[in-house]
A = this chain, B = another copy of it.
Amino acid sequence: MTTFNKVTAAHIAALREIAGVAYVLADEENRDRYARDETEDLHYMPEVVVKPDTTEQVSQIMQLCNRELLPVTPRGGGTGLSGGALPQYGGVLISMERFNRIIQIDERNLQVTTEPGVITEVLQMAVKEKGLFYPPDPSSRGTCFIGGNIAENSGGPKAVKYGVVKDYVLNLEMVLPTGEVIWTGANVLKNATGYNLTQLVVGSEGTLGIVTKIVLRLIPAPKHDLLMLVPFRSAESACAAVSAIFRAGYVPSAMEFMERDALEWVSQYVQGSTVTIADDIQAHLLIETDGNYPEVLMQEMEGIAGVVEGFDVGEILFAESHQQKEELWKLRRRVAEAVKANSVYKEEDTVVPRAELPLLLKGVKEIGRKYGFHSVCYGHAGDGNLHVNIIRGSLTEDQWNGTLQEGIREIFRLVKQLGGTISGEHGIGLVQKNYMDIIFDETSMRLMKQIKQIFDPNHILNRGKIFDN
Within the assembled complex, what's the spacing in Å between the Cα atoms of A426 and B194? 11
Which chain B residue shows the least CB distance to A419? Answer: B187
Contacts A163-B167, A292-B249, A447-B455 given; indicate if A196 touches B203 (C-beta within 8 A): yes
Contact B184 A444 (CB under 8 A): yes
Residues from chain B with a CB closer than 8 A to the CB of A467 are: 194
Contact B182 A349 (CB under 8 A): no
Contacts A180-B443, A194-B436, A194-B440 given; indicate if A188 touches B424 (C-beta within 8 A): yes
Rounded to whole Å, the gap between the CB of A222 and the closest CB of chain B is 9
A277 CB–B CB distance under 8 Å: no
Contact of A109 among B219, B351, B354 (CB under 8 A): B354
List CB contacts (< 8 Å) of A147-185 with chain B: 152-155, 159-160, 163-164, 166-167, 176, 180-185
Within the assembled complex, what's the spacing in Å between the Cα atoms of A181 and B176? 30
List CB contacts (< 8 Å) of A181-210 with chain B: 181-197, 199-200, 202-204
Contact A152 B349 (CB under 8 A): no
Within the assembled complex, what's the spacing in Å between the Cα atoms of A455 and B443? 10
Residues from chain B with a CB closer than 8 A to the CB of A219 are: 251
Rounded to whole Å, the gap between the CB of A464 and the closest CB of chain B is 14
Rounded to whole Å, the gap between the CB of A432 and the closest CB of chain B is 8
A56 CB–B CB distance under 8 Å: no
Contact of A195 among B193, B204, B349 (CB under 8 A): B204
Residues from chain B with a CB closer than 8 A to the CB of A427 are: 192
Which chain B residue shows the least CB distance to A204? Answer: B195
A395 CB–B CB distance under 8 Å: no
Residues from chain B with a CB closer than 8 A to the CB of A108 are: 243, 247, 353, 355
Contact of A111 among B109, B153, B160, B353 (CB under 8 A): B353
Within the assembled complex, what's the spacing in Å between the Cα atoms of A351 and B189? 8
A296 CB–B CB distance under 8 Å: yes
Contact B243 A176 (CB under 8 A): no
A-B pairs, top 7 by smallest CB distance, nearest first, are A199-B199, A108-B355, A186-B421, A187-B419, A109-B353, A220-B249, A450-B454
A-B contact pairs, 29 of them (CB 8 A): A108-B355, A159-B190, A164-B189, A176-B443, A182-B447, A185-B421, A186-B419, A187-B419, A188-B352, A188-B353, A188-B383, A188-B424, A190-B380, A190-B385, A191-B351, A191-B424, A192-B424, A192-B428, A193-B422, A193-B428, A194-B428, A194-B439, A194-B444, A194-B448, A195-B204, A220-B246, A447-B455, A451-B451, A454-B454
Given A108-B243, A186-B351, A195-B451, output 10 extra A-B contacts at Cβ < 8 Å: A108-B247, A186-B421, A192-B349, A192-B426, A193-B436, A194-B448, A195-B466, A197-B447, A293-B299, A447-B454
